[in-house]
Structure 1
Amino acid sequence: MGYKILNHHLILILLIQLFLWVTIINGQFIPGPRLGHTATLIGDKIYFIGGYNFSIIKESDIFYYDGKQLAWVEVNNTVNGQGADMPLKFGHTANVGGPKQDLIFIIGGDRFSTVYQLDTKTNKITLPTIPEVFPNRDNLRFMSSVSYEGKIYLFGGGEMDIKTDITTLYSNHYIFNTINLNWEDSSLVGAPPPRYKHTATLVNEIIYYIGGIQINNSYVSYPLMSDIFRYSTKSNTWSSVVATLAPGNTPGRRLGHSAVLVEGKICIFGGSFNDLSPTESIAMLDTSTLEWSIPSFKNPRRPNMPTLPNLIYHTATLVDKRMLVAFGNYTENKANGYKGLNNKDFYIFDFNNNEWYITAADELTNPSSNIPKLFSSSTSAGISSNRPAIIGSSVLGVLVLIVGILIFVYYRRKKNQSKGDVGYLADDSNISYDKFSFSQRPTLYSSQPSMQCQFTYQQFTPEQCHTAILIGDKIYFIGGSDFSLTEESGIFYYNGIAWVDLNNQVSGQDADMLLRFGHTANIGGPKQDLIFFIGGEQFLKVYQLDTKTNKITLPVILGAIPNGDNLISMSSVFYEGIIYYLFSGGEIDNKTGIINLYNNHYIFDTINLNWKVGGLINAPPPRYKHTATLANGIIYYIGGVQMNNFYASMSNIYRYNTISNIWSLEVTTGNTPDRRAGHSAVLVENNICIFGGAFFGLSPKESIAMLNTSTLEWSIPHFNNPRRPNMPTLPNLFYHTATLVDKRMLVAFGNLGQEDFILPIPSNGDKFSNRSSNYHPRSETNSHSQRSEALTQHVYTMLM
């Protein structure tokens, strides 16, 4: 026994020594993930400035990628000058300027009136003296910018009120002269409506403005990609043109995308639309013909990879017809330690042969890597000048291999030493799921018997914006979008033992009920065995599913029918199975894409089948993508998006009394969670548990939070995963569903971006754990849009 302990200690000492050796050899700077940064090309260097990575940073990162020496160089430690402590920059602009075009001017992000100047020859940051009057703006973010002949052209942007978090959009047009260091006047005649998170691309002397989000006549909308605004830097005039859309080549609206010019064509990449990835990750606008096209790229190293990456708030830099896409938020990959920030990869798009590559920061510094070199001169010079690096990398590889072997031996011995202990598996990859016993794990239903159950494998697709309704021991899942061309709604249920597909069993006059997306579904009827579907498409149509006969009908409704077309993302609550309360929602204009928000309050009687109008005095402002939770006759409304793309504060809770028909506004205390939309909410012993959601396309810092309805105090519960104890974060989902069964919450589907179907099973205490299953609800055999890759087929169970 003493020999074993001594042996383990010797191995640990050797591991520590090797780790220190590896750290010293491999001490080169490697940048970490970020979003909202800038990338500026000067010579053979790409300078990256600022950005946000969800940590508390007081100063902005500055580093560059040297395409000739194939190295990452951190500038932070060498920066000097009066502006060396430049505060964190996020959503700012950075452009080349100065008499010798070797200066980078950093404008916006925080105080718009403060212009920072980085001298790339000396790494000195200064605050140049600007004699003219500063533009009257505070923290203007996500403007567009273009540098041309020593002048920087800035347009649009959003100014956030720190106290209210309300973002005001502007159509201001500023010109900054980097030679004379002064502001110049510019024209706004014929300019676009106020917008931000759009792109500006210079073609000859014309600037093209594409995408973003705008406000026009008090309506917030995503501009059509066919509506292109152009600004002439020579004549100081604006014009609008309509781009033609080739059949099948229509790029989706978006914000937070990037744009580069490739031989007379503007290439846009990434972005998001209503927190979702657009159908086409990449599109090209021919500036001569004003025609959009969708290029096809292949990945020679991963030929079976079906889709391009979907990124937002990234940067794209063109070098010799090769585009480097860096950082940003990648919604189709697992979060790795950063809350909501999960892209550590880089992407190279080679327009010479329409190939794309996934790479990493360290691979970009390897001259022998099998990826296109961004700078053509780096091919030979880089290899010769980095020969010691190759030798060092080889030595490093051997050391890593030795360390890996020693770690394996060490933990293998430790495992054998404690082989008699019983614990959870750290990984489920070696378990066969063709047959397993439910007694191996805690069940969703406490009364469920221990039994063996055979699962047959089928290929199914995930969904989002669906509904989940608990009736007895069955959870019914209805509708949702999986980005396929499905015209009918999927209907299936989970009974604690098996998944049952009802699509082939549904009958009745409306068995072919159109696809429901962002709708509501609640129990009702005299026997509490009916499910009513309202909203999603034609609001005036109410569908009724009889869970005893699986028959769908359109019941005859009495009273005035609410006036609404495709009202989506309303909240709904049923009270005593009789009254069905619906509040607010958004109505999309299919022609313009503008979403109009409402604060209508409708009440539907599922017994007498008639509509009533609820009170609106002191009701919340118009909103959608929020939640409504019933607690002792009181409905609590939490989160969501209001007018002007404003996310409702989580400390301001509206309550509606179903007995007195009265609204009230309450202010909460405690550890208030981040604002969000598209989240879920369940009631757990007078505590409202919210889960998931998104804030401007990003995951909130706290995936889960609890509101005590007695004290109106927020708290953040702690959950651990007994089978994967090293898993650092909870899953980040939005547009999912959450269903509570015996203090176990089942979270299903939504948008996450992982691949397999995971059924996490809880243990005692605040825990969740993972197990894979071979059954995937909603079987499909047809091919789907690329956006289906962003959805999750995962189901999570949490024990409260």
Structure 2
Amino acid sequence: MSYNTFYLCLIFALGYIFFGVESYIPVGRIGHSSTLIGNKIYYFGGITDVGASLNDVFYLDLSQPFNVANPPWIKITDIPFGSSWGSVALDNSNNTEVYLFGGITDDVNTQKDSFKSFVYKFNINSLSWNIPTVSGIAPSRRIEMKAISDNSGKIYIFGGAANFLVGAQTRTFFSDMITFDIADSSWSINTAVNGRATYSATLLSNGIIVYVGGLEPFNGNNDVVLIADISKILLFDTNSLTWSMNSARITASIPVENRQRHSAVLAPNDQIIIYGGTRTTDEVDFNQVYPDVLVLDTKKDPYEITAPDISTNTGIFPSLAGHTANLFGYYMIVAFGNTTHKDDEPSLGKNGIIYVMDIRNFTWINSLDLDQTADNKTSSPPSQSSNNDKTKLILASVLGVLGGALVLVGGFFAYRWINKRKKEKKVPGFFGSNFDRYDAGFPGTPVDNSKSPTEACKK
């Protein structure tokens, strides 16, 4: 490599360090958790294609418009362990503390079980994790459940399942409702309906949690597993602490398949947008479910399930299972999961990107127009972490500019000094000849001045 090429590479690298801002690029995963806080979606852990548990915590910044193909990921910290198939819930009273419940807890280095607690607390400002002291009988370890927080300081966790990954001897479905009281830091556990896991859970504005689909044991037999009838909607009233069932009417013009590992978000009109999932019960095949998108209208009596017409601006109609979905304004943001496939096709593995649907017209889009979300996005006071992030970004930008300027000025004078010496004296080459290592390629490689610094550095 010649001196000129070396110098250009050095300046390019230093300029990239000082001026470039590289977004975090998360790997494809399934079994992660997510929650929307202000204008950020926080993501926690998951499992990779090779079954390794992940412990990264990062967020998707929704404060500025962006192209869906290049989302602004920001990694902020790590979980103290690899976490997957658990569930997170936000403390709605402060919008700064997130609780992580259950799931697989592995040592990220050994990938062996490292369970210590059923619940962990994460502060988005201090980026600290701790195990809260909780009174009452701790719940049994479990996976594949959802935690739902209301506005009264309660978090509800229904059912779930256990297997050897969380210390169970046999597969078990739980038929209980766990209530975590944030203010009192206490557990209470009550008997629920038939056990269920891998369902979707959505809290309506009237305090009712709507449970759709998922896996359930046949007549209580944990050895025989079925996908729950999608029209049999389980309801839990957080006001009266009572259960009921709503037999939804399906009015879609095409057959609607039962599903598990799907997602659900609540639209502004109390309609639930159900997306994705798989129609198979095992943990290997992820056969595509039809139709991919459903609308559950909870204003109708009984509830009504329809299948909207879907369009795309991206050329893709994504099909996923084990993903997450969060609603920001009118945008449903779908992340990660396993790409589902038709019966005669091979599995496509873990998905590492996001998809965004405008739920006003059920169109997959390629960019976020944030002006359209202002009248409808979830409102919350600006968090301290948001202010801290901005302060750090400004400080980093200033320091980067100053540092970059110093590097460029110093590099300029160094270049002149070395160039002057080069004209005065030839330096013996690596092989003891008069090979000029400043002007020629190293060793003996012709210099191609037509290449950019990036291309030259790759040689």
Give the alignment's TM-score, normalised by structure 2: 0.68
SS of residue paired to 1:64: strand
Determine whether 1:278 maps to 2:280.
no
Alignment partner of 2:238 out of 228, 233, 244: 233
**What's the CA shift for 1:212?**
0.9
SS of residue paired to 2:88: strand
Aligned residue number for residue 39 of structure 2: 44
**What's the CA shift for 1:26?**
3.8
Q: Deviations over 1:518-554 (max 9, x none)?
A: xxxxxxxxxxxxxxxxxxxxxxxxxxxxxxxxxxxxx
Alignment partner of 2:158 out of 143, 155, 180: 155
**What's the CA shift for 1:259?**
0.5
Structure-2 change in CA distance of 1:55 and 1:19 (3 Å): farther
Determine whether 1:107 maps to 2:101.
yes
**What's the CA shift for 1:201?**
0.9
Determine whether 1:244 maps to 2:225.
no
**What's the CA shift for 1:331?**
3.8
Superposition CA RMSD, Å: 3.5
SS of residue paired to 2:58: strand
Structure-2 change in CA distance of 1:316 and 1:403 (3 Å): farther
Aligned residue number for residue 222 of structure 1: 227
Alignment partner of 1:86 out of 69, 75, 80: 80
Greater relative contact order (Cα 8 A, min sep 6): structure 1 or 2?
2
Structure-2 change in CA distance of 1:179 and 1:249 (3 Å): farther
Q: Is the 8 A contact 2:85 2:103 kept in 1?
A: yes
**What's the CA shift for 1:375?**
8.0
Structure-2 change in CA distance of 1:19 and 1:154 (3 Å): same
Structure-2 change in CA distance of 1:151 and 1:278 (3 Å): same
Unaligned 5+ segments in structure 1 are 1-5, 78-84, 334-338, 359-369, 393-400, 411-800
Report 1:478-497 matches (<5 A): none
Q: Deviations over 1:263-295 (max 9, x none)?
A: 211111111112301021111110122111111
**What's the CA shift for 1:33?**
2.1
**What's the CA shift for 1:27?**
3.2
Q: Deviations over 1:24-44 (max 9, x none)?
A: 624343333221111111222
Q: Which amino acid aligns with 2:146?
A: S
Structure 2 CA distance for aligned equivalents of residues 158 and 349 of structure 1:
31
Report 1:765-776 matches (<5 A): none
SS of residue paired to 1:34: coil
Q: Deviations over 1:588-607 (max 9, x none)?
A: xxxxxxxxxxxxxxxxxxxx
Q: Which amino acid aligns with 2:144?
A: F
Q: Is the 8 A contact 2:9 2:454 kept in 1?
A: no
Structure 1 CA distance for aligned equivalents of residues 212 and 263 of structure 2:
10
Aligned residue number for residue 445 of structure 2: none
Structure 2 CA distance for aligned equivalents of residues 403 and 376 of structure 1:
41
Aligned residue number for residue 137 of structure 2: 133
Determine whether 1:175 maps to 2:179.
yes
Aligned residue number for residue 287 of structure 1: 298
Identity of aligned residues (%): 27
Aligned residue number for residue 333 of structure 2: 324
**What's the CA shift for 1:377?**
5.7
Aligned residue number for residue 142 of structure 1: 144
Structure 1 CA distance for aligned equivalents of residues 51 and 195 of structure 2:
31
Aligned residue number for residue 208 of structure 2: 206
SS of residue paired to 1:118: strand
Structure 2 CA distance for aligned equivalents of residues 252 and 108 of structure 1:
29
Q: Is the 8 A contact 1:59 1:86 kept in 2?
A: no
Structure-2 change in CA distance of 1:233 and 1:49 (3 Å): same
SS of residue paired to 1:89: strand
Structure 1 CA distance for aligned equivalents of residues 373 and 252 of structure 2:
37
> Which structure's CA Rg is the greater one?
1
Structure 2 CA distance for aligned equivalents of residues 67 and 122 of structure 1:
21
Aligned residue number for residue 371 of structure 1: 368
Q: Is the 8 A contact 1:186 1:236 kept in 2?
A: no
Higher share of residues assigned helix: 2
Q: Which amino acid aligns with 2:245?
A: S
Which stretch shifts more, 343-352 or 258-267?
A: 343-352
Aligned residue number for residue 118 of structure 1: 122
Q: Is the 8 A contact 2:145 2:157 kept in 1?
A: yes
Determine whether 1:258 maps to 2:258.
no
SS of residue paired to 1:224: coil
Structure-2 change in CA distance of 1:296 and 1:402 (3 Å): farther
**What's the CA shift for 1:245?**
1.0
Give the alignment's TM-score, normalised by structure 1: 0.41
Structure 2 CA distance for aligned equivalents of residues 56 and 159 of structure 1:
17
Structure-2 change in CA distance of 1:22 and 1:166 (3 Å): farther
SS of residue paired to 2:25: coil
Q: Which amino acid aligns with 2:196?
A: R
Q: Deviations over 1:198-243 (max 9, x none)?
A: 1111112111111111112233211111111111111111111211
Structure 2 CA distance for aligned equivalents of residues 349 and 168 of structure 1:
36
Q: Which amino acid aligns with 2:270?
A: G
Structure 1 CA distance for aligned equivalents of residues 234 and 168 of structure 2:
32
Q: Is the 8 A contact 1:331 1:342 kept in 2?
A: no
